[in-house]
Amino acid sequence: MKIKSILLLFATFFFAASQSKAQSLQQILDAILVEANKAINAKPSLVNLAVKTIEVNSSSKAYFGNGKTREVFKLELPKGTKSWYYRVTVLDINSSYQYQENETFFHLLSNRKNMDIYAPTNKGVDFFILGHSGDVSSFLQTGNSNFRFYQNCSMVGMNSFTGTCELNQENLWIGIRNPNTTSGLKVIVEVVSLGLYE
């Protein structure tokens, strides 16, 4: 009964925080409830997987200088993960902004707080989920568009945003690409998983 109460609170929070994702989040939480009823030693909880600050240069700086328009990092999903959530914050390249401890994605999800997304620039980034090391290698080559990615979890030309993904496999990378020709960008990527963990 306690697990059902916790999940009901999570479901209420996710619906209020992000109505555009409410249906898919509700489906995930319903699936978690089914698994929770089966679990003996596991309980539904959140894990803070990653907080990365990435700099991606404009294509002109990458072409004429030694900058990079793309960056990747590998996700390590813990055993028992059912889904994971991300918040991507796009900043100007010279920004020194960092979220306060009580504004982090993990803190907001853990404490069922309203989900504000800081968006100080009108520039966007391309966000890709990659599943093979060869595609990571191709992705990192500036100008190369010959790489595979998971379309259901990827976004193109987006300014600060949140999302959810149900991919759960050993090889997963997040790739960030700056499509801007003249503006370098700094990107904060936060990832939190939800699952049944022992």
Within 10 Å of residue 61's Cβ, how many Cβ atoms? 19
Choice between 160 and 116, residue whose per-residue pLDDT is larger: 160
Choice between 137 and 198, residue whose per-residue pLDDT is larger: 137
Predicted pLDDT at 106: 94
This prediction has a pTM of: 0.78
SS3 call for 182 = coil
SS3 call for 166 = coil
Q: In the chain, which residue ranges form alpha helices assigned H by DSSP?
A: 2-17, 22-38, 59-64, 105-110, 133-139
Predicted pLDDT at 126: 96
Within 10 Å of residue 118's Cβ, how many Cβ atoms? 14
For residue range 24-38, list pLDDT tens digits in order: 445 555 666 666 666
As a dihedral over the C-alpha atoms of residue 91, residue 104, residue 86, residue 47, rounded to 10 degrees, the angle is 150
Report the Cα–Cα distance between both ends of the chain, in Å, rounded.
18
pLDDT greater than 60 at residue 12: no
Q: Where exactly are the structural domains of the chain?
A: 47-197
C-alpha to C-alpha distance for 44 and 41, rounded to whole angstroms? 10
For residue range 46-94, list pLDDT tens digits in order: 999 999 999 999 888 777 777 899 999 999 999 999 999 999 999 999 9
Is the domain 47-197 a CATH 2.60.120.680 member? yes
